[in-house]
Amino acid sequence: MADLTTEFLGIKSPNPFWLASAPPTDKEYNVRRAYEAGWGGVVWKTLGAEGPPVVNVNGPRYGAIYGADRRLLGLNNIELITDRPLQTNLEEITRVKKDYPDRALIVSIMVPCDEESWKAILPMVEATGADGIELNFGCPHGMAERGMGSAVGQVPEYITMVTEWCKQYYSKPVIVKLTPNITDIRRPAQAAFAGNADAVSLINTINSITSVNLDMMSPEPMIDGKGTHGGYCGPAVKPIALNMVAEIARDPVTHGKPISAIGGITTWRDAAEFMVMGAGNVQVCTAAMTYGFRVVQEMISGLSQWMDEKGYTSTADFIGAAVPNVVDWKDLNLNYISKAKIDQDACIKCGRCYAACEDTSHQAIWMKEDRVFEVNDAECVACNLCVDVCPIEGCITMERVAPGQVDLRTGKVVEEEYANWTMHPNNPMAVQAAE
């Protein structure tokens, strides 16, 4: 079994699986049990400034999106930061860290956007002995209305400013947690590193309304007939998070900087995908909230099995391995031509590929006698839709047309050489460059 020990910002944990700052990490009881279940680290539920704690709503705070068999695909919440007194949290953090020196313990913080507030809380957090802090610039509901959370994360200048304060008043690693509720994730990431952040973590939750109650005409979750937008997380947000992590990993300004990935991570495979996309470790919230702490055991066994199969001996061996292959659209090889191919033995004759291609794509699938479905290479543009809607994995595949052969759709011989849009005659820029 591969060794999963992972060092992130000099903080060692037995595996790269941390619990994200959220209800699973809101108190000593939970965190102790999470460590016992095998989690490599936790980011404590976000602490606020000293004084009376925030209050949460007393009605439902979650909404959900389901797949087949009520499988939870997306969760949305309107919970605020911890509603327990600061002192209680600090005492608990101190005790837990002392008892679990081999596990990572990061403290998430969100206080008003002024130097005094940060200067006040940071020494108290430092005194707990925790391994680092995470700045919650991401919470998109409630706290944002009070000028905190994503309200800070959406203004790069504020990010730099607060990060600088933290680096000034706190001696250990500072992670800046980013909000996805922005247009270009690279700007806030650059701003964090400009303020000397040690790492960024992302994503926090996405602004969302999961559903509307059509009897009450109110968004869900509904409280006394009203609802508000909340933060979306869980499997449904993974593709968005994955892209944002990739954008930061391949941005020349931030390339190679430490990233802690968050967003929909549910299995070992999700974790591996984020890590090859440049994340030094991963954080999990919804998967634990859906299945309990025990899920980490599948992540541990799955990741180490995959590492063994691939011959990786350390997580460092594969972190960032896929980043060089994330390119701009314009860099994709237009001379790479493929065609869909239907394996007649595997085909169960549902006809979904036919409906998809005939109604909404390129009319490239024939429906022949006895429900035999075949691809017409003269029409197939290799869009992959048939593959995506086919219920049988591996039944339809994309087969490359070898260089030297004729693409029946265009009638042209497939060229061996790589050629992209920048070189294409239809591109006005390319023509100009050639002239």
Ligand X SMILES: Cc1cc2nc3c(=O)[nH]c(=O)nc-3n(C[C@H](O)[C@H](O)[C@H](O)COP(=O)(O)O)c2cc1C
139 is catalytic: yes
Count of alpha carbons within 13 angstroms of residue 211, beta-carbon side: 12
> Which residue in the set 354, 364, 396, 401 belongs to the binding site for another protein (CB under 8 A)?
354
Number of neighbouring beta carbons within 10 Å of residue 393: 8
Contact segment (CB under 8 A) with another protein among 139-147, 233-241, 349-357, 410-418 equals 349-357
Indicate the residue among 302 and 351 with the shorter CB distance to another protein.
Answer: 351
DSSP 183: S
Q: How far, in whole angstroms, is CA 12 from its chain's centroid?
A: 22
What the block records as the tokens of 207 is: 């602004």
Identify the helix (H) or strand (E) that includes residue 243: helix 238-250
CB 129 within 8 A of CB 101: no
Residues numbered 26 to 55 that lie near ligand SF4 (CB under 6 A) are none
- Minimum CB–partner distance for residue 230 and ligand X (Å): 9
Closest CA to 297 of 287, 308, 307: 287
Using rule CB under 6 A, residue 191 touches ligand X: no
Contact segment (CB under 8 A) with another protein among 41-49, 68-76, 154-162, 265-273 equals 68-76
CA distances from 287 to 120, 211, 244, 393 (A): 34, 21, 20, 25
Angle between helices 156-169 and 115-126 (to 10 degrees): 40
* Beta carbons within 8 Å of 167's beta carbon, 6+ residues apart: 174, 195, 196, 197
Using rule CB under 6 A, residue 197 touches ligand SF4: no
CB 160 within 8 A of CB 194: yes
The end-to-end CA distance of the chain, in Å, is: 59
Using rule CB under 6 A, residue 230 touches ligand X: no
Residue 221 CA to residue 207 CA, distance in Å, equals: 14
Alpha helices in 80-149 (DSSP H): 86-99, 115-126
Residues numbered 19 to 38 that lie near another protein (CB under 8 A) are none
What the block records as the tokens of 330 is: 């314009």
What the block records as the tokens of 90 is: 């600090």
The 366-405 contact track toward ligand SF4, x by CB under 6 A, reads ---------x----xxxxxxx-------------------
The 15-54 contact track toward ligand X, x by CB under 6 A, reads -----xxxx---------------------xx--------
Residue 416 CA to residue 337 CA, distance in Å, equals: 10
Indicate the residue among 194 and 383 with the shorter CB distance to ligand SF4.
Answer: 383
User: Which one of ligand SF4, another protein, ligand X, none is in contact with 23 (Cβ closer than 5 to 8 A by kind)?
Assistant: ligand X
Using rule CB under 8 A, residue 213 touches another protein: no
The 362-401 contact track toward another protein, x by CB under 8 A, reads -----x---x-------------------xx---------
Reduced to 3 states (helix: H, G, I; strand: E, B; else coil), residue 250 is helix
Contact segment (CB under 6 A) with ligand SF4 among 85-93, 182-190, 315-323, 357-365 equals 357-365
Number of neighbouring beta carbons within 10 Å of residue 359: 8
The 82-101 contact track toward ligand SF4, x by CB under 6 A, reads --------------------
User: Which one of ligand SF4, another protein, ligand X, none is in contact with 361 (Cβ closer than 5 to 8 A by kind)?
Assistant: ligand SF4
Residues numbered 281 to 300 that lie near ligand X (CB under 6 A) are 284-287
- Minimum CB–partner distance for residue 37 and another protein (Å): 29
What the block records as the tokens of 412 is: 């042209």
- Minimum CB–partner distance for residue 252 and ligand X (Å): 26
Using rule CB under 6 A, residue 364 touches ligand SF4: yes
Give contact residues for ligand X (rule: CB under 6 A): 20-23, 45-46, 75, 77, 79, 81, 108, 136, 138-139, 177, 204-205, 233-234, 237, 262-265, 284-287
